[in-house]
Amino acid sequence: MQQQEPETTTLEGGAAAVDQQAERVSFIRRLTRIREFTILMVIVVLIIVLAVLNSTFLSPNNIVSTILSIVMMAIVSVGMTVALVSGGFDLSVGSVMSMSGVVAGSLVLGGMNVWLAVIIGLAASCLSGLITGLFIGKVRINPFIMTLGMQGVIQGVAYVVTQGAPVSVTGVSAGFLYLGQGNLLGIPVLIWILAVIVVVADYLMRRAVVARKVYYIGSNESAAYLSGIRVARAKIWIYIFTAILAGIAGILTLSRFSVASPTAGLGMELQAIAACIIGGASLSGGEGTVFGALLGSVLVGVVDDALVLLNVSVYWQSLVLGCVLIAAVTMDVLTHREKNS
Amino acid sequence: MERAPLLEARKIRKRFPGTLALDGVDLSVLPGEIHAVMGENGAGKSTLLNILTGSLSHDEGQILVKGQEVNFRTPVEARANGLAIVHQELSLFPAVSVMENVLVGRSIARMGLMDRKQMAPLVRSYLSKFDATFGPETIVKNLSVSQQQIVEIVKALVMEADVYIFDEPTSALSVEDAEKLFVVLRQLRQQGKGIIYVSHKFDEIFDLSDRVSVLRDGRLIGTSSVSEVAPEDVIKMMVGRSLDRIYPEKTDHTGKKLMEVTDLNAGVRCHNVSFDLYEGEILGVFGLVGAGRTEIMRALAGIDPKTGGQVVLNGKHLRIRSIQDAISHGIFYLTEDRKQQGLYLKLSIRDDIASVHLEALTKRGFFQTKSASTIATEVMQELRVKASSVNQLINSLSGGNQQKVMIGKWLLRKPRILILDEPTRGIDVGAKAEIHQLLRRLANEGIGVVFISSELPEIVGLSDRVLVIYDGGVAGTLTGGDINDETIMEYASGLHIQELVR
């Protein structure tokens, strides 16, 4: 249900040379076939419209706060991209995000060194991903069922650890709080962290051999297996990776608000999947880029922000996000169909 | 005694894109007759049955039921006219009871609810003919394959049709259940029903049937009374053809033994398989559909788990427990299912080829796109793949070129044993010949080439030796003058095994 070129012409997913003779199309036409380019255009148009309607939209403050509002979604989406590219997905990311925050927060509250607590919080996320990956890869349980189950299990852990109440941490080291609250060169550290994660992950997804295996598995799992790729092992790593990124988002949330809530990641799985799909990933696997997922997150953030600035009640957010997702996928299916006919 | 046929097909012609599947085929079934239909894989048997029962339409010709011309557009219409068919593939609903399966589409209902009280005894009466150990209420998925096949047969019997068509009914039946089926068939014959019986098994056909028709390449070669022909005559009718294509010259395989497989066991279709492979030879593997060719080779290549057996390569015992083990020893298996399992249709030629060279293309964990292009270009030139560049999508290549990519991507990994499953299926004549030349060249370079094919002429034309598979085991290994259509078919039909038993 995705565009065929160029994401599929090369695994890099970028604007690689589409075969000239077989595809005699103009440069512009080809550019518009790149999913990222389309979203970028949509975002730019939206921004222009909003800037005209409301002068505060392009103020530095609003830009920063808009980006800040999507940091967690974007980080989780990076992990989700990998799962989607492999042909699976992960519904447990929201729970893992909550769980890693409350585990670390509770340990800090119990007197543990904050960095050690962070490592344990991330390790717990890792373990969750390992279990998910083992069941999906080795036992071959459907990712939908498995991660739905894990969503419940991990959410349960978060509730049990906190007895349902948010954990407020005080007196932790300034270094830890700097991650979520500090500024570097006038820009919030959180945004720097997001930038680093996106740039590194995007580069790895395009170039690393490990990531390439993920694309192979998502493109044709049987062929990947017959090519000698260790599919089960790769899947274990994929779900560990997804869980670690969700865990990082949970830790950063703790740092940002000095509070770990067992519901911090509530609904995050759907937001992240929406961002990835808007950004060009396919539920059938083999397609999707980290950069696309970032753009998808930005689009969602801009739409949310627009609703606020245009004084639309927050209760409309969910409705509008749903419409944007459906619109993105519909557009995709239609262009795909046109191309095939 | 002149009896009017219950079902008659006259000059049936059916064209599929690219092939003439049926070319003027006649077939008739008389009341109280079991009429066997035989032919190689792809001879047109299934097409004919599908046309008779309304699953396919015919381009030319007539079908008459009791002298009346009919034109079925759906299987339902055929059923309404007294034709019942038992298909080769099981088509049951696994989560539902036997009786609901048997009476599917015609459940006996009262006020919208199924009337189990009426359904059960009816179904039970048919099951008792097979001394079935399960009842009408049993859920189908709890049954063995043989029992499910019985349900499939009962589903046809319960229709009380005039003509019953059986497409290889015994391929899934146990020996005991098959015997019971034969009793039922004889009863039906006594009741004056007509039966079309498709099978590969000579003993069944010669025991059971009155007449036998042989199809070959979509033509009816002949219909004769079973009492007037011998199995050997039927085989001749099935395969007799002129070698109309030129194959690369064979070599006399004087090379040393490359691989020795002993008592390989795996799953249900690979029992105690032993064979040798010599350097420089092409070993053809032939077997009728369902004999277990693919299963045996998949087990050898570490794809499906083995339950026993030894593999010796160049004098060394190999432990092949995974596909990676086999690959590391240079044993590559190329699947018959090119599109679903062999290639990444949505990817470019370069990325597809790169998938089996990931280790060589990795530098400090990063993928070397340029080297991948180089390798892909090499494969394309070496095998003369017709494509404009390495960026062209696999999807847009012809079947022959796809096959070349599939073989080519493995060749650069220096195979010692190359196992190709139906390497020429669905590709045009020119590409076929090229692939034949290629296989011969690889064999001459010292690679052990094993190829599975359903096409007898290809097996005969290309193989230095032929391994014939029957019922999950090796029926025989043929060399030299024995590599001919008749002999191979005799072995593939289990004729020799039966003689040994007797």
Contact assessment for residue A260 and residue A101, using Cβ atoms and an 8 Å cutoff: yes
**Structural tokens at position B222:** 């002949």
Q: Which residues contact A316 (CB under 8 A, 6 or more apart)?
A: A307
Contacts of B175 (CB under 8 A, 6+ apart): none
Interface mutation vs chain B, best among A2, A12, A212, A213, most B CBs within 10 Å: A212
CB contact under 8 A, A209 and B392: no
Task: For chain B, list residues whose CB is within 8 angstroms of any CB belonging to chain A.
Answer: 303, 323-324, 327, 333, 335, 337, 340-348, 350-351, 354-356, 358, 361-362, 365-367, 369, 388-389, 391-393, 396
HSE on the CB side for B463, CA within 13 Å? 30
CATH number for B7-239: choose from 3.40.50.620, 3.30.720.200, 3.30.930.10, 3.40.50.300. 3.40.50.300
Number of Cα atoms under 13 Å in the Cβ half of residue A36: 16
Instruction: Report CB contact under 8 Å: B346, A286.
Output: yes
Whether chain B has a CB inside 8 Å of the CB on A51: the answer is no
Contact map slice: A 173-212 vs B, CB within 8 A? 207-210, 212
ipTM higher than 0.90?
A: no
- In this complex, do B342 and A225 lie within 8 Å of one another by their Cβ atoms? no
> CA-CA distance, A95 to A280, in Å (whole number)?
25
- C-alpha A168/C-alpha B274 separation (Å) is 70
Quick check: B341 and A223 CB within 8 A?
yes
Cβ(B163)–Cβ(B213) under 8 Å?
Answer: no
Helix pair A231-257, A174-181: axis angle to 10 deg: 100
Average pLDDT (A187-208) is 91
**Residue range B257-301, pLDDT digits in tens:** 889 888 888 888 888 888 999 888 899 999 887 788 888 999 988
Question: Is the Cβ–Cβ distance between B59 and B218 less than 8 Å?
Answer: no
What are the domain boundaries of chain B?
A: 7-239, 243-330+415-502, 348-413
**Both tokens assigned to B210:** 């009155």
Q: Mind listing the pLDDT tens digit for each residue in B293-321?
A: 888 999 988 888 888 888 888 888 888 88
B388:A21 CB<8 A? yes
Comparing A78-82, A90-94, B174-178, the range with the smallest average pLDDT is: B174-178
Distance CA B151, CA B136 (A): 9
- Which residue in B156, B24, B165, B180 sits closest to B92, CA to CA? B156
CA distance B386 to chain A (A): 12
Query: Which chain A residues are Cβ-neighbours of B365 within 8 angstroms?
Result: 208-210
Distance in Å, alpha carbon of A130 to nearest chain B alpha carbon: 22
Domains B7-239 and B243-330+415-502 alike in fold: yes
pTM: 0.73
d(CA B7, CA B65): 5
Spelled out in words, what is the top-level CATH class assigned to the domain B243-330+415-502?
alpha beta
A23 CB near a chain B CB, below 8 Å?
A: no
Buried b (16+ CB within 10 A) or exposed e, A158-175: bbebbeeeebebeebeee
Confidence of residue B109 (pLDDT cuts 50, 70, 90): low
User: Best mutation site among B303, B352, B355 for testing chain A: the one with the most A CBs within 10 Å?
Assistant: B355
Question: What are A248-291's pLDDT values in tens digits?
Answer: 999 999 999 888 888 888 888 888 998 998 888 888 888 888 99
Closest alpha carbon to B449 in B267, B277, B257:
B277
Chain-chain contact of A230 with B333 (C-beta, under 8 angstroms): no
Task: Cis check for the bond before A143: say yes or no (omega within 30 of 0).
Answer: no
Facing residue for A4 by CB, picked from B335, B346, B350: B346
Tokens representing B101?
């399966």
Give the residue among A67, A126, A2, A142 at the shortest CA–CA distance from A304: A67
pLDDT (average), residues B361-372: 85
